[in-house]
Amino acid sequence: MVKRKNLFNGEGDLEIIEALRTLRTNLSFLNEKEVGRKILFTSVIPNEGKSFLSSNYAASVASTGKKALLIDCDIRRPRAHESFGVKFKNGLESVILGKVSVEDVILKDVIPNLDILPSKHITDGVTELFSSDKIDEILDSLSPHYNTIVLDNPPIAVASDSVLLSKFVDGVVVVVGYDQVAKKELEFAREMLGNAHANIYGFVVNKVDKSGLSYGNYGYYNNYYSYYKEYYEDGTVRTSQEHRHKKMTKFEKLVHRFKKEYKKQITGDLKGRRK
């Protein structure tokens, strides 16, 4: 079994951890329930990082001392448990089919305050499993025992499971891999969730290039990450003015000039009047 990275277990990038803490804070503003808050994570297409974000978001909630449960609803390709290197015999699919009770399947305290309801891989009849009322009954029975329940779901372009389950949760977070998804695909995902009357909390952009080669609003976040990197490496934070006066190599000057011209083109500010 390949163990995926759990950032809240001493394994990770501090600047990414700070971004996850910001996500945790923003989601808490959107839903202030102290018991039984249910959040569904999905993506538009595969490999955008929704399992990584959902598992580490759940771990971030647990790190505050609040009880969290991570449910792997991506039965066609279950990955959520890999962040914690755990083994199990039965999963969510067996609970829905009535073969075992949910209490017998939940993995307790994989890290302090975090439980996991894993899934085994199956391919046939998955949508039909989630079309029944059984999953709603399972969530209702678990809600009183957790502050936050996180559902890791398959990509919307691959399966309709996320759309079906969106009616059982408080809100939906769509993970978008930077420069991986076309506008039409994003519009399709939003339309599908909209048809289900899902409460979309927002879209989280993942895999943003931290080198600063992205444009528009993302540039702010690139600077944000670079500040955190410098802060954690040497204990100092350079001001934006110090960044501007930092001596650049010829290549960096070329990239800077290219970015400046590109920004003018995409904003229509060809005379440089906008700041």
- For 61-80, the pLDDT digits (tens) are 999 999 999 999 988 887 77
Give the pair of three-digit tokens for residue 55. 């598992």
Task: Tell me: do 59 and 175 sit in the same domain.
Answer: yes
**What does pLDDT average to over the chain?**
79
Label the pairing between strands 200-206 and 107-111.
unpaired
Domain co-membership, 254 together with 172: no
CA distance linking residue 53 with residue 176, whole number of Å: 11
Residue 160 lies in a domain: yes
User: Domain boundary at 182, 206, 230, which?
Assistant: 206
Same domain, 108 and 197: yes
- pLDDT above 50 (res 230): no
What pLDDT digit, counting tens, does each position of 186-227 carry? Answer: 999 999 999 999 999 999 998 876 654 443 333 333 444 444
Say which DSSP state 3 is in. Answer: P
The answer to whether residue 252 sits within a structural domain is yes
- Tokens 């899934």 appear where? 119
* pLDDT for res 219: 37
Quote the domain boundaries for residue 19. 7-206
Task: Please report whether residue 244 resides in a domain.
Answer: yes
pLDDT score at 189: 93
Tell whether the model's pLDDT for residue 105 goes beyond 80.
yes
Residue 213 lies in a domain: no
With respect to residue 99, please indicate whether it lies within any of the assigned structural domains. yes
275 occurs within a structural domain: no
Choice among 10-24, 86-100, 190-204 with the minimum mean pLDDT: 10-24
Count of domains observed in the chain = 2
Evaluate if residue 144 carries a pLDDT over 90: yes
Q: In this predicted structure, what is the pLDDT of residue 232? A: 45
240 CB-near residues (< 8 Å, 6+ apart): 223
**Model confidence over 107-126: pLDDT tens digits?**
999 999 999 999 888 777 77
Helix axes 50-62, 14-30, angle to 10 degrees: 80
pTM value is 0.73
- In total, the chain counts a number of residues equal to 275
**Same domain as 199, residue 241:** no
Nearest to 213 by CA among 264, 254, 268, 267: 254
Residue 178 reports pLDDT greater than 90: no
Per-residue confidence at 90, pLDDT binned at 50, 70, 90?
A: confident
> Are residue 179 and residue 137 in the same domain, yes or no?
yes
CATH number of the CATH domain containing 197: 3.40.50.300
pLDDT higher than threshold 70 for residue 97: yes
* Residue 221 confidence (pLDDT): 38
Q: Is the pLDDT of residue 233 over 60?
A: no
Angle between helices 218-234 and 14-30 (to 10 degrees): 130
